[in-house]
């Protein structure tokens, strides 16, 4: 069943200066979709359009009725005056989460990401890797049905990356759909069900790895090979 439907005809920050064009896809239950493209390709603009942060857009974005979603930005954002636990309390209050279940879930996530001892500290003073883990905890605490995650592997050590992928797999089994923007193509190739390859603001290829290979005419190519071919083919445009 479709959780998120994206039909972007054009979008940008200023009228007459649209950055992305003709971006169309769905995110279904239990699916992990990799949003792939070089810097400046339009990935962030696509995500901001989905989140409703750009007024200058033509098209439609729709979540399935009553579907909760969480966004994990590339650069962690926190309230300076709140500890991590106070961030969790704030989210729990805003989302009306049952107190007992919320606290059990919070303790479980803090323990898994090894942040229990730092829960009453200010996240703004954490290391970059700790901040990224804190953002993931804040995203997961509400058990959303859609995750929109921008470059989740930045700042994560190998153990944290493995834990993240394990937790994401658990969320997928629960039925959550995930749209993940990443430059870590070897990992994306292993874990994603489908891919969206964006370059110069347009969707250049989409589908499973096998679909992407056919579209790029690279029968045995890796995701990186296909990515490199698309980037090269459009460099001079």
Q: Tens digits of per-residue pLDDT, 148-161?
A: 999 998 878 888 88
pLDDT for the residue numbered 234 = 56
Residues of the chain with pLDDT > 70, as a percent, come to 98
Which three-class secondary structure string do you get for the chain? CEEEEEEEEEEEEECCEEEEEEEEEEEECCCEEEEECCCCCCHHHHHHHHCCCCCCEEEEEEECCCCCEEEECCCCCCCCCCCHHHHHHHHHHHCCCCHHHHHHHHHHHHHHCCCHHHCCCCHHHCCHHHHHHHHHHHHHCCCCCEEEEECCCCCCCHHHHHHHHHHHHHHHHHCCEEEEECCCHHHHHHHCCEEEEEECCEEEEEECHHHHHHHHCCCCCCHHHHHHHHHHHCCCC
Tokens matching residue 140: 């997961």
Give 60: exposed, middle or buried? Use CB within 10 Å, 0-12, 13-18, 19+: exposed
Q: Tens digits of per-residue pLDDT, 164-208?
A: 999 999 999 999 999 999 989 999 999 999 999 999 999 999 999
Residue 236: band (very low, low, confident or very high) from pLDDT cuts 50, 70, 90: very low
Interval 52-57 mean pLDDT: 93
Nearest to 119 by CA among 70, 82, 72, 156: 82
Interval 3-30 mean pLDDT: 95
Interval 131-138 mean pLDDT: 94
Mean pLDDT of the chain: 94
């Amino acid at each position: 069943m479709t959780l998120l439907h994206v039909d972007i005809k054009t979008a940008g920050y200023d009228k007459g200066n649209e950055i992305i064009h003709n971006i169309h896809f769905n995110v279904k239950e239990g699916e992990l979709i990799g949003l792939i493209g070089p810097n400046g390709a339009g990935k962030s603009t696509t995500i901001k359009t989905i989140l409703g942060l750009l007024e200058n857009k033509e098209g439609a974005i729709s979540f399935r009725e009553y579907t909760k979603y969480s966004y994990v930005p590339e650069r962690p954002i926190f309230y300076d005056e709140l500890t991590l636990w106070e961030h969790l309390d704030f989210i729990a209050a805003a989302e009306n989460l049952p107190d007992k279940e919320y606290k059990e879930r919070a303790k479980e996530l803090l323990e898994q990401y090894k942040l229990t001892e730092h829960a009453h500290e200010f996240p703004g003073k954490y290391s970059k890797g700790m901040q990224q883990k804190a953002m993931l905890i804040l995203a997961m605490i509400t058990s959303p049905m859609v995750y929109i995650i921008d470059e989740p592997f930045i700042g994560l050590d190998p153990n944290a990356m493995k834990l993240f992928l394990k937790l994401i797999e658990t969320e997928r089994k629960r039925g959550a759909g995930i749209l993940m923007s990443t430059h870590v193509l070897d990992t994306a190739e292993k874990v994603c069900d489908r891919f969206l390859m964006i370059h110069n603001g347009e969707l250049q290829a989409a589908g499973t790895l096998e679909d992407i290979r056919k579209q790029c005419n690279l029968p045995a190519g890796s995701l990186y090979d296909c990515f490199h071919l698309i980037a090269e083919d459009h460099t001079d445009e």
